[in-house]
């Protein structure tokens, strides 16, 4: 058992991380994974977690936190009838399949490799946010199979490698094919369920037996972080939402685009 003082500092640092992540998630209207992962990476570094497992731990813990929040969000949106259940049913196999592939990759790729993947995808997302136009369309409706299934596999793969619930990627996919943004956001909650549940088990499996993990970790999931972050993010997120309502949609897109590009720059710098 580690010293009590070490556990206290660990809890304090994670509490601060949860408050920041909750505020930014509320501000930018996303599930929080794109924010939790870089925040966790920094906090775990300050706490002396081994660099070899730090990024894996940040991603796995983020996915564990997304499980209850995405389920709650999906049920709330479903009551309003705004979820595209047909799309979710068509992705019941493809999305988890991509997540399983991501877990296999995570079990063998280095911390630097995961940071590079996160940074590259973040650059693409950030540029898309900065340059986004509502007039951009690739089609009038979502593509049929096999293209739709292929998109599901890729979405699950990339999201699980980044530790996100897939909201940013799914919103982009659905709106580019003519779906209203409110339906895209609601459906993304269901996509988060399809990603986070197999992702949680996948990262637990991938990290079994790994050395250098902090106390109370099962594989690449730290349960102290999970227990602290979930209630804190739910408590603090409304503050970010309040600020978001004072800004227009375009300002939020630009703000998130800049944020995610800064995160990408931080990870690229860490690879030098």
Question: pLDDT tens, 92-139?
Answer: 999 999 999 999 999 999 989 999 999 998 898 888 878 877 667 787
Residues 6+ apart with CB under 8 A from 30: 167, 168, 256
What values do phi and psi take at 222, rounded to 5?
A: -100, 120
236 sits in which H/E element: helix 223-244
Residues 33, 163: contact at Cβ < 8 Å? yes
Tell me how far apart the alpha carbons of residues 153 and 28 are, in angstroms, rounded to a whole number.
Answer: 26
Residues 6+ apart with CB under 8 A from 235: 22
What is the percent of the chain where pLDDT is above 70? Answer: 93
Give pLDDT, residue 253: 73
Residue spans of the domains in the chain: they are 4-270
Which of 113-117, 163-167, 238-242 is modeled with the greatest confidence? 113-117
Tell me how far apart the alpha carbons of residues 141 and 257 are, in angstroms, rounded to a whole number.
Answer: 26
Q: 17 versus 58: which is more confidently predicted?
A: 58
Give the pLDDT band of residue 239 (cuts 50, 70, 90): confident
Q: Is the pLDDT of residue 252 over 80?
A: no
Give the gyration radius of the chain's Cα atoms.
18
Tell me how far apart the alpha carbons of residues 266 and 202 are, in angstroms, rounded to a whole number.
Answer: 26
Q: Is the pLDDT of residue 2 over 70?
A: no
Q: Is the pLDDT of residue 21 over 80?
A: no
* pTM of the entire predicted model: 0.85
């Amino acid at each position: 058992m580690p010293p009590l003082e070490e556990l206290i500092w660990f809890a304090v640092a994670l509490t601060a991380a949860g408050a920041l992540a909750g505020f930014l998630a509320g501000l930018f209207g996303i599930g929080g994974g794109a924010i939790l992962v870089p925040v966790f990476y920094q906090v775990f570094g300050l706490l002396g977690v081994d660099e070899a497992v730090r990024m894996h731990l940040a991603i796995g813990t983020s996915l564990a936190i997304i499980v209850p929040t995405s389920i709650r969000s999906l049920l709330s949106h479903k009551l309003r009838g705004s979820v595209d259940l047909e799309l979710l049913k068509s992705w019941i196999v493809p999305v988890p399949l991509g997540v399983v592939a991501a877990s296999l990759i995570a079990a063998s790729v280095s911390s630097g490799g995961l940071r590079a993947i996160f940074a590259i995808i973040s650059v693409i997302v950030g540029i898309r946010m900065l340059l986004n136009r509502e007039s951009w369309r690739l089609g009038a409706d979502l593509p049929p199979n096999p293209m739709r299934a292929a998109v599901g596999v890729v979405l699950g793969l990339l999201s699980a490698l980044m530790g996100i619930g897939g909201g940013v990627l799914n919103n982009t996919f659905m709106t580019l094919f003519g779906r209203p943004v409110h339906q895209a956001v609601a459906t993304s909650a269901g996509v988060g369920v399809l990603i986070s549940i197999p992702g949680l088990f996948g990262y637990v499996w991938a990290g079994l037996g790994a050395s250098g993990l902090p106390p109370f970790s099962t594989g690449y999931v730290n349960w102290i972080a999970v227990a602290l972050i979930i209630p804190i993010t739910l408590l603090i997120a409304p503050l970010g939402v309040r600020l978001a309502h004072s800004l227009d949609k375009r300002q939020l897109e630009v703000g998130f685009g800049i944020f995610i590009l800064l995160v990408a720059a931080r990870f690229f710098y860490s690879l030098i």
